[in-house]
Amino acid sequence: MNELLQLGITEILESLRAREFSAEELTRAYLERIGETEARVHAYLSVLEDEAIGAARAADRKIGAGDDDSPLLGVPVAVKDLLCMRGTKTTCASRFLENFKAPYDATAVARLKDAGAVILGKLNMDEFAMGSSCEQSAFGPTHNPWNLKTIPGGSSGGSAAAVAARSCVVSLGSDTGGSIRQPAACCGVVGMKPTYGRISRYGLIAFASSLDQIGPFAKNIRDAAILLGAVSGHDPRDSTSADEPVPDYTKNLEAGVRGLKIGIPEEYFIEGMDPEVEAAIQKAIAVFEEQGAETLEISLPHTEYALPVYYILAPAEASSNLARYDGVRFGVRQEGESAYGSLFGMYAASRENGFGDEVKRRIMLGTYALSSGYYDAFYTKAQRVRTLICRDFMTAFEEVDVVLSATAPTPAFEIGERLADPISMYLSDILTIPCNLAGLPGISQPCGFTSRGLPIGLQLVGKPFAEKTILQAAAAFERATTHHEALPPL
C-alpha cells in the first residue's frame, strides 16, 4: 500500500507545507486506491475524480502562495450520500433519488470546502439511512475490509469501510440510532456522533429529524477531532442548530484521564453479548484504571425501553419526512395517471417502485404509530419514556464524566445472515440508540479483535456538548493501546 495512504491529517498538512508531495499527488494516490479496492469493497456510490483533482490543484496554489492555514487544506475526504453536494448526485442509496442532483451544498459539505478539503466522492449507505448493515442500499451492499464476507455496519457502512480500506483520509456519516458508531466498531475505525445540534443538518436528507446527527469517521482520535472542529458550529438555516461556541477539540488530547470518573452501566452488559466483545470491554476498563481513571458501576434503569421507543419514534418521523417522495416534487416518477387510472395510482406506483423493503417497512410502522386511535398509545407514550431515558443519563452524569460500554453486542456478522429477521438486525443498535434518544455525544474506537480477526468497538458517551471530554478519554486509551494501528488484509 502506498505510504501516503497511512498519513493522518496533521502529517499531511505538515508534508504539504514542506513540499514533500503535492495535494494533487496525494489525491491521485487515493483515487488509485479507490480503483484498487472498489470492486471488492463497494464503499463509493460515485467517485468525483475531476472535481477532486480540481480541488487538489486549487489547494496546491494556495499552499504555493503561503495561504496554508486551512484545517483540511488538500486532505482527501468523502461524504455519505445523503449530504447534498451541489451539482452531484445525492441518492440516499435509493432508486427514488438515483437521478437527483443537488442544487446546493449541505452546510457540512460547504464547511469541508471552506476548510480546503478535497472531496473524493459520495459513499454507500443503507437506503435513506434505514439499516444496520449497509445491505439495504439499492445499489448493492458494502463489504467489510476486514472480512469481505461480513457487513461493514450501517447505515454509514460506506463511510466506515472507506476509512478502513484507506480509500479516503476521513469521511462524514450520519447517526440516527448508531449509524456512525456501529459501523466504526465493525470496521475498526473511529466514529463520532456529536451532541444533537452541534453540526448543522441543513442539506442532510432527513430520516428522523429529532435523532439525525452528522459526524466524522477517522483512523485515529486526532483526525476525528480535527474534522469535527471543521464542520461544527451554529447555522441559522437549521432551526435545531445549537448556538454554542466550538472549542479546539485537539487541545486536550494529551491531558490523560487521571481523576476522570467513568461510569459502567450494568444494563449495557446484555444477555446475548458476544463473550469476546465482553472480554475486550473488560480489558478496556482495566486500561482506563491503569491510566488513573476512576470507574464506577452505575445504573441507567430505562435502557431496556430504548429499542422499542426508538422503533416507534424513528419510523414515525420517517413516515412524515418521506411523505414528500411522491414522484411529482421529488424522486423518480413512475407511469402516469393514464396507466393507473388516478393520480393516487401514480403516487402509489412511484412509492412502490422507488422504495426498498426496509424503507416501506418503517414507513408503515411509523404511519401506524401516528394513526388516529394509536397516536397516544404509541407515539406520545414513547416520547414520555424518551424523557425518562434522558433523565437516567443526567442523573448518571451527576456522578461520572463519561459512560463506557461496548459499541455493539457482537462483531460484524456475515452478509445476508440477518436480512430475513428484522428484529435481530435492529438489536445491532441496542447499545447505541439511548445516546441518540438523549441527544448526547458518543464515540466508538477500536478496542480489540475477535479470534476471527474482526474488530471490536468501545463506546464512550459524554454530557451534552462535552465532546472534548470524550475525545480526551478516547485519546488516552488510544495512546495506551495499538488496536488502531492494525490494517485490514485488503
Residues carrying an active site annotation: 80, 155, 179
Q: Please list the residues that pair with 295 across neighbouring strands.
A: 262
Per DSSP bridges, beta strands 455-462 and 442-449 are antiparallel
Distance CA 447, CA 117 (A): 29
Distance CA 130, CA 425 (A): 11
Q: Say how far residue 247 (Cα) sits from the centre of its chain.
A: 21
Cell of 334: 413512475
Cell of 282: 473488560
- Classify each residue of 322-345 as buried b or exposed e, where b means 16 or more C-beta atoms within 10 Å of its C-beta: beebbbeebbbbbeeeeebeeeeb
Residue with cell 448508531: 178
Distance CA 202, CA 108 (A): 8
Residue 363 is which amino acid?
I
The sign of the torsion formed by the CA atoms of 91, 94, 100, 106 equals negative
Please give the C-alpha separations between residue 163 and each of 266, 275, 484, in angstroms, as whole numbers: 32, 27, 12
Residue 136 is which amino acid?
Q
Cis peptide before 133 (omega within 30 of 0): no
DSSP for residue 205: P
The sign of the torsion formed by the CA atoms of 355, 84, 224, 166 equals positive
Distance CA 165, CA 180 (A): 16
DSSP for residue 188: T
Q: Cα angle vertex 115, ends 461, 442, to 5°? A: 5
Per DSSP bridges, beta strands 213-218 and 190-193 are antiparallel
